[in-house]
Amino acid sequence: MSLIDNLLDYLRGPEKKTAVVAKERLQIILAHERAGRGAATPDYLPALQEELLEVIAKYIHIDREKIKVQLEKHGEYDVLELNVTLPEHQRIL
């Protein structure tokens, strides 16, 4: 290991314990799986995703896979989450 690697490690701080990583990963995946399990996802979601995609494609050149529409439950609230991954190094037109 070079001096620079050592220095980088030092700057990054102590590594996260794996038990903490395990807990975080579980909390995220189970939130997703529980959301899918409860009330079935409303049937307008695919159409909504399609239309949003069309609108966004008007302005940004974007991959169909790079847009995700999700409905999640957070306690009493339903949260509609729209996730668009913009292509790298491409300016919005």
Binding site for other proteins (CB under 8 A): 17-20, 22-23, 25-27, 29-30, 33-34, 37
- Taking the complex as a whole, the smallest distance from the CB of residue 76 to other proteins amounts, in Å, to 16
- Taking the complex as a whole, the smallest distance from the CB of residue 8 to other proteins amounts, in Å, to 22
Which contacts (CB < 8 Å, 24+ apart) does range 45-48 have?
Answer: 45/69, 45/71
- Taking the complex as a whole, the smallest distance from the CB of residue 52 to other proteins amounts, in Å, to 30
Residue type at 53? L
Cβ(86)–Cβ(60) under 8 Å?
yes
Q: By C-beta, is 19 or 92 nearer to other proteins?
A: 19
Residues 6+ apart with CB under 8 A from 52: 67, 69, 82
Q: By C-beta, is 24 or 63 nearer to other proteins?
A: 24
Q: By C-beta, is 25 or 68 nearer to other proteins?
A: 25
**DSSP E strands, the chain:** 67-74, 77-84
